Amino acid sequence: MARVMAVIFETRGQLHYLDPGVSQYRVGDMVLHPTEHGPEVAQVVWAPEYVDSQNLTGLPVCEGMASEQDLRRDRENRQHKAEAERIAKELIARHELPMKVVGIDWIDRVTDVDLMVAIYFTAPGRVDFRQLVGDLARALKARVDLRQVAGRDAARLTGGIGSCGRDLCCSTFLTDFEPVSLRLAKAQNLSPNPLAIQGQCGKLMCCLKYEHPLYVDFAQQAPAVGERVSSPIGEGTVIGHSVPGQSVTVRNGEGETARCPLTEVCVKSKRRKARHGALQRRAGKDDQ
C-alpha cells in the first residue's frame, strides 16, 4: 500500500498526487510540490492516507511546508501572471490575431534565462504570431513561449461547471482524454444530437466514456423495459431504468408504479438468456 496525499495549484483545480513521506499534513496546509523548475507552492486538499493502488506508486515526494518566503514569491508570481495575461490580450487585439488566451505559466526558475512566460492559447487554425512574440518579449522583458492547445486542453486550463452541476472532470481528476463516440450515448439512452451531449470544449462529454462500463453491466443484470417481473408490489412490467440508483421502475396490474432495487426484482420472461447473449456481444463491439 502507498501513502498518498493530493494537492492543487489553483482553487478548484486539477488534483496532483504526492508522496508525503513520513511527515503529517492537514487539509489546507501550503506545501512544496517538486517541478522541473524547482518547488512550487500547492495546497493540500486530501490529507495523507494509505491507498491500495498500483497507479499511485513512484510519486514525487513532497518537499515540506511552504515558508513565508515561498508564499510571498507565489503571491508575486500570481500578480505577474495576471499582468502578463492583460498585456498578451492587448497585444493580440492590436495585431488582430484570432487567438484566445486560456492560461499563463510564469516561470522564474529557468537555468539559461532569468525568466520565461508560457502563454497557452486556442485558435481556429494556424496563426502567424512571429511579430507578436517579439512584442510580448519586449513588453514582459522575458522569453515568451506561445503554445496552441486543443479544445479539451483549453477546458482543462480554464475550468468551469459541467451540465451535471459539478466542476469539469478534466480540470479536477481526469488526466487522460479518450475518444468518445455517439454509440456510447445510444447505450446510455441519451439524445444522439451532438449539441445536446457535448462539453464546454465542444467535444462529446468525457463522462460518456468512463461511465459506459456501468451501463453495460447494468444492462446485463436488469430486465429490459417491457419484461414481466416479480417485484415488491407484485407481478408487473418494467417501464423504466435508473442506472445510478441500480433500480427499475415497475407497474403492476392495478396501475401502481414503484422503483425497485435490482436485488428485489425477479425476471419472469423466458427471453432473458438470449437477450444477455446479445448484450455481451454488443459490449464486446463497444470495447473494440
226 compared with 273, residue with greater pLDDT: 226
CA count, 13 A, side-chain hemisphere, 200: 19
Residue 19: all three cell numbers together: 508522496
* Topology of the domain covering 215-286: SH3 type barrels. (2.30.30)
Angle 86-92-93 (CA atoms, 0-180°, nearest 5)? 90
* H or E stretch covering 81: helix 68-95
- The pTM score is 0.69
What is the b/e burial string over 209-242, where b = at least 16 CB atoms within 10 angstroms of the residue's CB? Answer: bebbeebbebbeebbeeebebebeeeebbbeebe
Helix, strand, coil percentages, rounded to 5, for the chain: 35, 30, 40
pLDDT at 187: 80
CATH architecture of the domain covering 71-149: 2-Layer Sandwich (3.30)
Give mean pLDDT, residues 278-285.
Answer: 50
pLDDT at 12: 76
Does pLDDT of 274 surpass 60?
Answer: no
Tens digit of pLDDT for each residue in 20-37? 988 899 999 999 999 888
Tens digit of pLDDT for each residue in 226-248? 888 888 888 889 898 888 888 98
pLDDT at 279: 47
Task: Give the span between the Cα atoms of 95 and 93, in whole angstroms.
Answer: 5
The mean of the pLDDT values for the chain is 84
Per-domain boundaries in the chain:
2-66, 71-149, 154-210, 215-286
Out of 54-58, 116-120, 144-148, 238-242, least confident range: 54-58
